[in-house]
A and B are shown apart, each in its own frame.
Chain A
Amino acid sequence: MLEILFPSLSSIVSLTAIGVAFGLILSISKLKLKVEKDPRIEKVLEALPGANCGACGMPGCAAYATRIVEQKFEINLCPVGGAESADAIAEIMGMEKTGGAAVALKARVHCQGGIDVTRKKFDYSGPMECLAAHNLMGGPKMCEYGCLGFGDCVRSCPFDALHMDARGIPVVDPVKCTGCGSCVRACPRGIISLVDGTIDVLVMCRNREKGPVMKKGCAVGCIACKLCEKACREVFKDRPEIGTAIEIRDFLAEIDYSKCINCFKCVEVCPVPVIHPIERSKKMQKGAAQAQAASGE
């Protein structure tokens, strides 16, 4: 009877014995090789947004949490969580609440050369990615500095804050953008940068060629006429220590955001216009007024 129920008693006994032995080894090693882990790491990780975007400079949220607890890293490095998560972490770590990073940075696109205003130098039929196109003779557009429009930045955004508009230029949604910098790293042309979110003035060009060379490929690039620089010097006329916040370097206007006071004087004088927001430039306003007058007639 017993033999029918258990045809091989020895195998049952030996397997049980092996199981018990391994079980003992595992439980002993769990006690002996226990790794002490700070429970605060888990809590800090919960306080972080969990986007794993890398904006703090660490490979992901878990790495940042570990370093906050173990190596006493700054707690306000996460631009995504901002003040909220910094305060939560401060509470966990028993530190003083300091709020988020001083300035909320937003991604800004420095190009307005969509397909309607730029010229192509050849037809491209390779992989539809900016990096692939950029490394093939500088991309299909005449301008070797501007946006290629294949959307590497859009794909890289973990927060769905970037979208291609109809002209093939990425548009940043300032509400969704957390300033993590994924798009800045993804763009092979370096036309996206992180700019103080409170400042609206922005040079929408990255072309460092002379005006006539640039004009061959794009109708809306910086022509380096220096009108913006002159206007800005006028603003800071009685503060010679500042001089100017916008300056032409290598045939391209560049704004020093530590000096810019958001006065829109450079925007108004730009003849192209290439300084954002272009609606405020005199040329655009004049055009709009004319259009209105024409429609009124």
Chain B
Amino acid sequence: MSPTFRGGIHPPESKKVTEDCEFSNLSIPSKCFIPLQQHTGAPARPVVNIGDIVTEGQLIGASEGPVSANVHSSIPGKVVAIDTVPTVYHLQRAVVIEMEGSLSASASVRDKEDWRGMSREEIIQRIRDAGIVGLGGAAFPTAVKLVPPPDKKIDTLIINGAECEPYLTVDDVLVRTFPAEIVEGIQITLKALGIANAIVGIEDNKGRALRVLSGAVKGAAIEERIQVRGLKTKYPQGAEKQLIYSLLRRKVPSRGLPMDVGVVVQNVGTIYAIREAVAFKKPLFERYITVSGDLINRPGNYKIRLGMTVADIVEECGGLKGEPEKIIFGGPMCGVTVHTMDMPVVKGTSGILFLSKKQVSVEDFGPCIKCGRCVKACPVNLMPCDIASAVEVGRLDLAEGLSVFDCIMCGSCSYVCPSRRPLSHFVRLSQDRLRKKKK
């Protein structure tokens, strides 16, 4: 029996659509909108001016403050504007670049550098310079995660390959395509952390990825201890705290971070990007994404440049079969529904889904019928029904006692609610209200 956690749900996986699609490159867009905030934390400060000629991978936004990340140009060309554009993080300032000149960085193959000779600081500095953030979705700056405060002792690195979100297959295909590179990336990250233990967690519905990666770990003669372990297929198996509990039986304290229990969690996509940044000095300006859903003509796993808009991607993927009811950045459970085709892909975008009316439920919600299904599904033992009812009638004092800040926003409660109540949205509302009250 594969390890897992309490609660959770089993939505239809819908991964068959793109599971067997090998990675292919989408052609490079002629115009890119590169938001200065593509990460959790403070937005980057623009370091180019309108009219500047930039090359591929050139720094265009410098990280500002302790929790922030660099932003690089994803195409060579001319900066035509620094403007406000809609992004998944509300309206953000973005550098607009129009394609010009030749693709230098991707054409020339750089020599691989020997990272084993580098010091810890050097590795972390390279990761910071490359603007690497968590590519699983939350987009937390990786360099910050790799330098925990001195009083927190880290003993294990967990690699998140669970990919519990329906539709998304990008991590699965990444592990199958580049197993040796992932293992090397893990070794680099372990060196950056100064530890020797790593566990890769992959849900057991991805048997091929599990086998391939286990083989790669065995094949490489390495001194580090890297385990590959299967996890029960269940949503939200890939949520940080649930993953740590499943693999190590350690409970992250309420409102705490993984580092409180001596763990750092990185997504497999981040690990791949770390290797490219450290061994090839390549900044993060492209990433792999899954394009899926029942409305796209050519679903698949693609390598795309950051800042490419949804409209360009649709064109490259053969257009849509009909008017989409919802376009979602990320997975259908945790992702962000977007309202315009002009939305650029950012670092934290792991997939884009085009869903028809059949796949989406748009209904008015009813009252709570006290069935308790949300309580059973909640992976962090909350009572979403009570929190929602308390917020609905304006009783913040009741909600306050129900640990609303422990919510991981997985959306399991909303998914199971037979009354179609937007429970996770209500929990988020209670958090917002409490934060506003404290101010």
Contact = CB atoms under 8 A, between A and B. Distances in A.
Interface of A: 121-123, 125-127, 129, 131-132, 135-138, 144, 155, 188, 209, 213
A131 B432 contact: yes
Contacts of A136: 425
Interface stretch (B175-183, B218-226, B333-341, B398-406): B333-341
B362 interface: yes
Contact of B436 (A121, A125, A131): A131
B394 to A, nearest CB: 7
Given A122-B339, A209-B84, A127 B432 contact: no
Nearest to B88: A137
A148 B336 CA distance: 20
Contacts of B362: 123, 125
B91 interface: yes
A135 B422 contact: no
8 contacts: A125-B364, A126-B425, A127-B391, A131-B429, A131-B433, A131-B436, A132-B429, A137-B336
Contacts of B432: 131-132, 135
B391 A138 contact: no
B196 to A, nearest CB: 42
B394 A155 contact: yes
A188 B439 CA distance: 13
Contacts, number: 45
B22 interface: no
Contacts of A127: 391-392, 422, 425-426, 429
B339 A137 contact: yes
A148 to B, nearest CB: 13
A76 B30 CA distance: 64
Interface in B348-392: 362-365, 391-392
Contacts of A132: 425-426, 428-429, 432
Most buried by A among B90, B338, B364, B426: B90
Contacts of A129: 429
Interface string B393-437: 010000000000000000000000000001001101100110010
A242 B392 CA distance: 49
A125 B414 CA distance: 13
A129 B392 CA distance: 9
Contacts of B337: 122, 137
Most buried by B among A136, A155, A188: A136
Most buried by B among A123, A125, A127: A127
B40 to A, nearest CB: 16
A144 B364 CA distance: 24
Interface string B306-342: 0000000000000000000000000000001111100
A144 B91 contact: yes
Contacts of A122: 337, 339
Interface residues of B, number: 23
Contacts of A125: 362-365, 422
B411 to A, nearest CB: 12
Chain A facing B: main interface SS? loop
A136 B363 CA distance: 18
A129 B436 CA distance: 14
A132 B392 CA distance: 11
Given A121-B339, A132-B432, 14 more contacts: A122-B337, A125-B362, A125-B363, A125-B364, A127-B391, A127-B392, A127-B425, A127-B426, A131-B429, A131-B436, A137-B336, A137-B337, A144-B91, A155-B394
Contacts of B425: 126-127, 132, 136
Contacts of B336: 137
Nearest to A131: B432
Nearest to B414: A126
Q: List 6 tightest A-B contacts by C-beta distance, closest first.
A: A122-B339, A132-B429, A126-B425, A121-B339, A126-B422, A138-B90
Nearest to B425: A126
B432 to A, nearest CB: 5
A123 B364 CA distance: 12
Nearest to A140: B339
A140 to B, nearest CB: 9
Contacts of A155: 394
A122 B327 CA distance: 11
Nearest to A135: B432
B188 to A, nearest CB: 36
A121 B426 CA distance: 22
A138 B433 contact: no
Given A126-B425, A132-B432, A138 B91 contact: yes
Nearest to A125: B362
Nearest to B429: A132
Most buried by B among A121, A122, A126, A135: A126
B96 to A, nearest CB: 14
Contacts of A126: 422, 425
A188 B429 CA distance: 12
A80 B89 CA distance: 40
A138 B429 CA distance: 14
Contacts of B90: 137-138, 144
A181 to B, nearest CB: 14
Contacts of B426: 127, 132
Nearest to B436: A131
B400 to A, nearest CB: 16
A135 B426 CA distance: 12
Nearest to B433: A131
Contacts of B436: 131, 188
A191 to B, nearest CB: 16
Nearest to B362: A125
Contacts of A188: 436
B378 to A, nearest CB: 18
A135 B428 contact: yes
Contacts of B422: 125-127
